[in-house]
């Protein structure tokens, strides 16, 4: 029997291979694999279901991630997927794999973060499971949400000439991670030294340790009468998410480097680390901002919305997916964000 190493396929290649040929059979399944959340038909409403798994040593490092922050972030990344379907998160289910090095108090601290996130976003914690683990801490969370039938937004709805928009700013979470990793190595347990290095960089640290789902933007879009034609949350990097939308929609895109929203702290940290800030914004990941497209007819409606940037447009598939540099050159976009199977 032939053996194929997972890293030769990558995360998304593995998903495509495992799910090839799977088609929904139940009449209540509107959308299965291939979007931020599954969509189930319950008369005039759609039920949205999404799940994520976080592994110690792969997705988080407890040398610098507080358990309460980890619990909060674990809940938020799932809530964000529901928001990316233009939905309202309603319930959360938590499953944990726990090794012997964790105490009851440790898990209570983790759960306190989950509960804070649930309270903030109006989500009920309705169940879960725990089991012993031989390899550290494993967190698996399922979030359930809902949306009216005609309000659900998929990745596959982008049309030629649509405007590409994103919320907030990009690259901050990645810069926060780079800072944490640098100080973990440099300080070797010297907390005082690390604290000095963190001064003035609180924003990028918070973006990495305690991200927020953009439920506020979903509400603002509704109030403005805007239904995005496609939408996704930015978990693996802007480039990866743009390519997901374009592949699902059968289109291409052009996005402009000088239109990418980048915070001052992000730019300063990139300069300090001698990294290209545009590359960080495109490929950093874990921003959990919303990337979406809108029809040209909604241009005047989107302009007054705060914390939304217009960064490009959708074009025909044959033109490809490109980054337009500040000098006007076009560079082909590549998915260079986080891939758990690349190491």
Domains of the chain by residue range: 6-148, 155-332
CA–CA dist 89, 182 (Å, integer): 35
| Global confidence as pTM | 0.88
Specify whether the CB–CB gap between 235 and 288 falls below 8 A: yes
Question: Residue 159 — φ and ψ, nearest 5°?
Answer: -120, 155
With a CB cutoff of 8 Å and minimum separation 6, the contacts of 69 are 113, 209, 210
Assess if CATH 3.90.650.10 describes domain 155-332: yes
With a CB cutoff of 8 Å and minimum separation 6, the contacts of 2 are none
Bridge partners, residue 45, by sequence: 42, 148
Bridge partners, residue 232, by sequence: 291
Helix axes of 104-121 and 67-83: crossing angle, nearest 10 degrees: 30
Measure the CA angle with vertex 38, ends 118 and 254; round to 5°: 95
- What is the tens place of the pLDDT at every residue in 120-148? 999 888 878 888 889 899 999 999 999 99
**């000095």: which residue's tokens?**
196
Q: Average pLDDT of 14-28?
A: 70
Q: Average pLDDT of 144-162?
A: 95
If you average pLDDT over every residue of the chain, what do you get? 90
Assess if CATH 3.30.1330.10 describes domain 6-148: yes
């Amino acid at each position: 029997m032939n053996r194929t190493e997972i890293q030769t396929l990558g995360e998304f290649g593995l998903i495509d291979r495992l799910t090839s040929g799977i088609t929904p059979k139940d009449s209540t399944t509107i959308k299965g694999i291939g979007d931020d959340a599954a969509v189930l038909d319950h008369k005039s409403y759609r039920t949205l279901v999404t799940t994520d798994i976080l592994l110690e040593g792969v997705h988080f490092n407890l040398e610098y991630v507080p358990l309460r922050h980890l619990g909060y972030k674990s809940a938020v990344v799932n809530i964000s997927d529901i928001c990316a379907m233009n939905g309202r998160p309603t319930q959360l289910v938590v499953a944990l794999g726990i090794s012997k090095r964790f105490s009851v108090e440790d898990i209570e601290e983790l759960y306190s973060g989950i509960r804070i996130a649930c309270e903030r976003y109006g989500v009920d914690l309705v169940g879960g499971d725990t089991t012993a683990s031989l390899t550290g801490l494993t967190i698996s969370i399922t979030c359930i949400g809902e949306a009216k039938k005609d309000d659900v937004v998929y990745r596959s709805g982008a049309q030629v000439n649509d405007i590409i928009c994103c919320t907030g700013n990009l690259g901050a979470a990645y810069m926060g991670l780079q800072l944490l990793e640098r100080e973990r190595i440099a300080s070797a347990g010297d907390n005082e030294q690390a604290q000095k290095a963190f001064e003035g960089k609180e924003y990028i640290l918070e973006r990495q340790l305690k991200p927020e789902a953009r439920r506020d933007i979903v509400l603002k879009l509704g109030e403005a009468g805007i239904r995005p034609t496609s939408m996704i949350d930015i978990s693996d990097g802007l480039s990866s998410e743009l390519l997901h939308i374009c592949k699902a929609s059968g289109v291409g895109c052009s996005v402009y480097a000088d239109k990418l929203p980048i915070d001052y702290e992000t730019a300063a940290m990139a300069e300090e680390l001698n990294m290209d800030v545009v590359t960080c914004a495109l490929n950093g990941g874990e921003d959990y901002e919303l990337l979406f497209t809108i029809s040209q007819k909604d241009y005047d409606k989107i302009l007054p919305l705060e914390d939304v940037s217009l960064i490009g447009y959708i074009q025909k598939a044959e033109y490809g997916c490109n980054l337009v540099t500040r000098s006007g050159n076009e560079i082909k976009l590549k998915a260079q964000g986080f891939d758990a199977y690349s190491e």
